[in-house]
Amino acid sequence: MTDTVQAPHRRGLGKVGLIFACGTALFSDGYQNGVIGTVNTLIKIIYKDTPGLNLKHYSTTFSSLAFAGTVAGMLIFGLLADRIGRKFGMISATLIVFLFAALSAGAYGAGGSVGGMLAALSAYRFLIGIGIGAEYPAGSVAASENTEDPGIKSGTQHMLFALATNVMIDWGFVISAFTPLVLLWIFGENHLRIVWRGSLALGTIPPLLVLFWRMRMHEPERFRKESMKHVGWKDYPVWLIVKRYWLRFTAISLAWFIYDFITYPFGIYSSTITTTIIGDSAPLTTSLGWNVVINLFYIPGCMIGALLVDRVKPRMLMTISLLLQAVFGFAMSGAYTYFATPAHIAGFTVMYGLFLSFGEMGPGNCLGLLASKSSPTAFRGVFYGCAAAIGKIGAFAGTWAFPAIIDRFPAGPKQDSGPFWIGSGLAILSAAITFFFIPEVPENHMTNEDIKFREYLAANGFDVSLMGLKDEGMIESHIAKDKGEVVDVRDASSEENEKKGTEAV
């Protein structure tokens, strides 16, 4: 065949839509992680009098198992996204989330036992976590690779990535708080079983919708050009990769660990904190309503951050936001005795919401961006997946550690305000790591990094002609773009392919 092969996506809005098709499934991550806080609250109310059932231990285990599954999914699919493909990872992730979200909604114990039902629900949460984890090195990575398509408007690359990934996660958190409240309005407090099962059941809709969108997608062009999919394990330049990228990987991973250690426990326990302040006598709808308000503060933070990130640049925006988050955290700790009363619940909500909002404006938007764009395409899935997994380990550790931390403080206001001192101090540490050890990511950074990586490999004796999807039927030779035109290079030698690909970049 000699006919020219066209790129699998079109100019303009079609290319922007492709970025969102890759990233929007992360809405399920926000929804599934956020809804667990409310489901835990409802389960503790419904089954509090069940003999022999330790609901306090179950509640923490239940939340943590999803994180453990997420870590497994990030590590496994980080490798598969590089060795098989981004599309395979995205479709697999969507199917896993849909299947186990449906099973979670219908969880049932043998003989109708409550313990059996909770055990089944815990197992499903671990498995759904694998699907959520797969989204990061497959969907997020593919979204980042599509932002540097020539059809994307200059000055919008980072913004589009943030809107397609972290903003989707945050909207998932908001909807996960609002959905149980709506169901509670509909069915009332005498039918809480319907509320928690319905909240989980509605979580099956987003992955199902995204699945049909993704079935029509192709691999990102950067992956088709720069993949090391066909490099054998014995020839894989592991040591060269470690030697060049270990410092930025360590810094990004540590910053992600700290951020998730702070963010996830505070987000999950927001309903518990508001219930403590409002009082036990307040209706459940009041507690869930304030939880919605708090989660809404994620949105201005991530949206403003998305608008600023191309101008301020990711590393600097993340540093500034972490310092602002620390300031508000210290202020909340110092004034907690004033805010922690029903009369000042609005003030507490604003301060707590701004604490979360600054976290989303900076690290929420920028960590995934820095992780996905700081490494070459050839092993971006593994780099991103491992860094994100370390972050989730921070979330896992924080979910277990914060109840113990709270218990170590004296009973009273200090017990509730103490974690904010710790969280603010960690935010300052993360800001320092970000500023001093993570390189800035300008526009078209992935394209330039791929060129430098090829040169580095070639200078150290690696055969760069092995890179790219050259031997498959779709478009597996290099696609070179010369002055915006698609050029068929399948009959050229590997050296000529490499030359044209470099010139196009």
- Confidence label for 145 from pLDDT (cuts 50, 70 and 90): very high
Instruction: Tell me, yes or no, whether 3 lies in a domain.
Output: no
In a domain, 5, yes or no: no
Burial status of residue 13 (CB atoms within 10 A of its CB: 0-12, 13-18, 19 or more):
exposed
| Same domain for 497 and 433 | no
Hey, is 237 helix, strand or coil? coil
pLDDT at position 274: 65
Q: Is the pLDDT higher at 97 or at 267?
A: 97
Q: In this structure, is residue 210 part of a structural domain?
A: yes
In a domain, 4, yes or no: no
Q: Inform me whether the pLDDT recorded for 186 exceeds 60.
A: yes
How many other C-beta atoms can be found within 10 angstroms of the C-beta atom of residue 55?
A: 18
- What pLDDT score was predicted for residue 431? 96
CATH code where residue 128 lies? 1.20.1250.20
Q: Residues 336, 338, 343, 346: what is their CA dihedral angle, to the nearest 10 degrees? A: -50
Question: Is residue 218 within 8 Å of residue 87, measured between CB atoms?
Answer: yes
- Same domain, yes or no, for 183 and 217? yes
Contacts of 32 (CB under 8 A, 6+ apart): 66, 97, 101, 128, 132, 172, 176, 203
Is there a single domain that holds both residue 125 and residue 171?
A: yes
Instruction: Judge if 482 and 411 occupy the same domain.
Output: no
User: Band of the pLDDT at 505, cuts 50, 70, 90?
Assistant: very low
Supply the pLDDT for residue 271.
56
Per mean pLDDT, which range of 161-170, 217-226, 358-367 is the poorest? Answer: 217-226
Measured CA to CA, the distance from residue 103 to residue 199 in angstroms comes to 13
Q: Residue 362 has what DSSP assignment?
A: I
Q: Is residue 463 part of a domain?
A: no
Mean pLDDT of the chain: 83
The Cα–Cα gap between 120 and 411 comes to: 35
Q: Would you say residue 471 has pLDDT above 60?
A: no
Which comes out higher in pLDDT, residue 501 or 446?
446
* 493 and 427 assigned to the same domain: no
Q: Are residues 356 and 480 in the same domain?
A: no
495 pLDDT exceeds 50?
no
- pLDDT band of 461, cuts 50, 70, 90: very high
The reply to whether 8 falls in a domain is: no
Query: What is the structure's pLDDT at 269?
Result: 56
- Closest by alpha carbon to 279, among 190, 342, 214? 342
Question: Do 133 and 74 form a contact (C-beta atoms < 8 A)?
Answer: yes
Tell me the mean pLDDT in the region 233-250.
95
Give residue 360's pLDDT: 93
- Are residues 416 and 489 both part of a single domain? no
Query: Does 162 share its domain with 253?
Result: yes
pLDDT band at 414 (very low <50, low <70, confident <90, very high): low
Q: What is the dihedral of CA 246, 248, 254, 255, to 10 degrees?
A: -170
Dihedral of CA atoms 318, 319, 321, 326 in degrees, nearest 10, equals 130
In this model, does residue 276 exceed pLDDT 80? no
Q: Please, are residues 7 and 145 in contact by the beta-carbon 8 Å criterion?
A: no
Is the CB of residue 416 less than 8 Å from the CB of residue 336? yes
**Mean pLDDT to the nearest integer, 68-96:** 94
Distances (CA, A) of 62 to 20, 404, 459: 31, 17, 50
* Arithmetic mean of pLDDT, 93-101: 94
Q: Tell me 153's DSSP state.
A: P
For tokens 């936001």, what's the residue? 321
Residues ≥6 apart with Cβ < 8 Å to 171: 27, 30, 299
User: Helices 238-268 and 270-278 sit at what angle, rounded to 10 degrees?
Assistant: 20
Q: Give the separation between CA 504 and CA 359, rounded to whole angstroms.
A: 38
Please give the structure tokens belonging to residue 119: 């055990």
Residue 56 CB partners (closer than 8 Å, separation 6+)? none
- Which of 418, 387, 362 shows the shortest CA–CA distance to 162? 362
pLDDT recorded at residue 308: 97
Q: What is the pTM of this model?
A: 0.85
> What confidence score (pLDDT) does residue 242 get?
96
In this predicted structure, the answer to whether residue 265 has a pLDDT above a threshold of 90 is: no
36 Cβ neighbours under 8 A, 6+ residues apart? 62, 63, 66, 125, 268
Look at 370 and 47; give whichever has higher pLDDT: 370
94 and 154 housed in the same domain: yes
Q: Token pair of 134, please?
A: 């797969």
Domain membership of residue 459 (yes or no) is: no
pLDDT band at 80 (very low <50, low <70, confident <90, very high): very high
How many domains are there within the chain? 2
Specify which residues 486 forms β-bridges with.
481
Q: Looking at the structure, do residues 173 and 261 belong to the same domain, yes or no? A: yes
**Residue 462 placed within a domain:** no
Are 446 and 474 members of one domain?
no
Q: What percent of the chain has pLDDT over 90?
A: 50
With H, G, I as helix, E, B as strand and everything else as coil, classify residue 324.
helix
Distance, CA of 67 to CA of 281 (rounded, Å): 33
Q: Do residues 439 and 474 share a domain?
A: no
- The stretch 373-390 carries a mean pLDDT of 96
Query: For residue 46, which amino acid is it?
Result: I
Helix axes of 192-201 and 26-46: crossing angle, nearest 10 degrees: 170
Count the residues in the chain. Answer: 505
Domain span at residue 494 reads 470-504
CA of residue 111 relative to chain centroid, distance? 38
The token pair that represents 298 in the structure block: 């994620």
Q: pLDDT tens-digit profile of 301-316?
A: 999 999 999 999 999 9
